[in-house]
Amino acid sequence: MSEETSFFIHDIIDEDLREGRVDAIHTRFPPEPNGYLHIGSAKAIFINSYTAQKYGGKFNLRYDDTNPEKEDNEYVESIYEDLKWLGAIPTGGIFYGSDYFSKCYEFALQLIRQGDAYVCDLSAEEMRETRGTLTEPGVNSPYRDRTVEENLALFEKMKNGEFPDGACTLRAKIDMASPNLNLRDPAIYRIKHAHHHRQGDAWCIYPMYDFAHPIQDALEGITHSLCSLEFENHRPLYDWVVDHVGFEKKPHQYEFARLNVTHTVMSKRYLRQLVFSGSVDGWDDPRMPTLCGLRRRGYTPTSILEFVRRAGVAKTYSNVEIELLEHCAREELNFKAPRRVAVLEPLELVLENYPEDKVEYFELNNNPNDENAGTRKVPFSRTLYVERGDFRKEKEPKFFRLFPGNEVRLMGAYVCRCTRFDEDENGNVTRIYGELDLDTAGKNPADGRKVKGTIHWLSKEHAYALTAVNFEHLFTRENMSALPEGTDCLDFLNTDSRHELCAFGEPSLAEAKEGDTFQFVRMGYYCKDTRYENTFNSVVPLKDSKGK
């Protein structure tokens, strides 16, 4: 990142340290392994890992694997790879929520013995009906006054698999009249006869997140449990669990607004829908906001973290323009990416006064922003490829490239005058012709005439065939964080968001490795794809699509 960052959570930590409430900082990132991480996850990773680093503390990775039905080891591995890629090393260790199942069970028994929890036979629908509203209190469950002995016996039967899914739950006994709906006797254990990716079939009851999470934090010594704003109303329940279990060192929860980005979705449910409906080419599709998708497209960890930093950390929801992310990538790649020539929409240019059997080489800069980047030699011959967009049949206002009678500089080589062109029966240009000023190799015309336009080129004989893939926004709607009622993300899917071009590049691109990123001069930044051979994905264009 470009500079040290501070935000409101750090003000809280500064006061906690000053007042002696804590003497060391310990944070955690608790993803559920039911999908791949996305750029919204990067904000949570940044806040937690950077905060621990800033204060010389520890940072844990803890997999929230308390819901066995959608979790998979594939996601476990991908999450760790993404953290490593971002440079967020779990200095405090790697943990799993399932590691604490026995502890959670013991604490549930403790709550029952204390009279703070009971087994309830109401169905999920009946619980919703008796929960009440924001203006009306809930109704006590008819099972709320079961004795401790009854509850212990029933909970044991739940654990032993004697009840089917949904037959009953263990609920915390708090206050059905509480103005906070999360305190109206929430379920803290449910029955799920499902195979767990780590625990196998050892358990058929699983703790709810609001019960398990504060216990996990306390057991790991987390001091500041940093989470997104939708958990703000859950904080009293977090504190209730910590207090009633009786932890001496109490973690505290603090909330921040999650990251929303225009023209994309952050809901893991929607991301799964995109993948499993076949709307995208897997979790790592370069159009996806997943970290593996951004990596495949060519975004760097530093550009993503810089985007998160610039987007800011606050308690107010906002919708950050995706153009800011593109700007951060472009800003970095401008200084780091080697330059290479690629012609994305090729048109033949025949140099009629250049020998047919001659080949010479011109030196081009690898990166004008890096004095140590050096140069490379690019072959030049009689027949070249140029961009179709660099030619017009007739002169047009403010168009200084190729048209009959006009001169351009062939980048790093000669001045060329366009003489004529061929076209097919439909009026499509099939080939153009030109003549070189053979005295202008690497220098200006001797008579002092001005040449306004410069274009890039490739020797047809030496060109390397490649596929260039350009992308548009995956969704047509800008604000995907608030969809109209009765719609979902697929209703706004841009079905024309991926464009393949049969292109050519200079010979050195044949040696590019997967993940190598280049500036295709005058065209944009492109990254060698990790899945398809000879394919380069567009990272960002050379210029912002919106003014910054």
The catalytic site residues sit at 32, 258, 268
Per-residue tokens: 257: 């607004």
**Start-to-end Cα distance in the chain:** 19
Per-residue tokens: 276: 């499993």
SS3 track for 95-130 = EEHHHHHHHHHHHHHHHHHCCCEEEECCCHHHHHHH
- Coil, strand, or helix at residue 242? helix
Per-residue tokens: 176: 């059905």
Compute the distance between CA of residue 263 and CA of residue 475 in angstroms, rounded to an integer: 5
Residue with tokens 């009633």: 244
- Strand 26-29 versus strand 58-63 pairing type: parallel
What is the number of alpha carbons within 13 Å of residue 75 lying toward its C-beta?
Answer: 21
* Residue (of 221, 242, 199) closest to 107 by Cα position: 242
DSSP-derived secondary structure letter, 144? T
Compute the distance between CA of residue 536 and CA of residue 534 in angstroms, rounded to an integer: 7
- Coil, strand, or helix at residue 155? helix
Compute the distance between CA of residue 407 and CA of residue 542 in angstroms, rounded to an integer: 25
Neighbours of 143 (CB within 10 A): 17
Give all strands (DSSP E) within 303-382, no chain letters. 319-320, 339-340, 342-343, 346-351, 360-365, 375-380
DSSP-derived secondary structure letter, 484? P
Per-residue tokens: 219: 């057991």
Per-residue tokens: 99: 């590691």
| Residue 349 neighbours by CB under 8 Å, 6+ apart | 383, 384, 385, 386, 402, 416, 431, 432, 433, 434, 457
- Strand 498-505 versus strand 342-343 pairing type: antiparallel
Compute the distance between CA of residue 504 and CA of residue 464 in angstroms, rounded to an integer: 5
* Residue (of 351, 336, 459) closest to 415 by Cα position: 351
Per-residue tokens: 54: 């800033």
Residues 495, 496, 500, CA angle at the centre, nearest 5°?
A: 130
| Residue 288 neighbours by CB under 8 Å, 6+ apart | 38, 271, 274, 280, 294, 474
Residue pair 192/205 in contact (Cβ under 8 Å)? The answer is yes
Residues 322, 327, 331, CA angle at the centre, nearest 5°?
A: 155
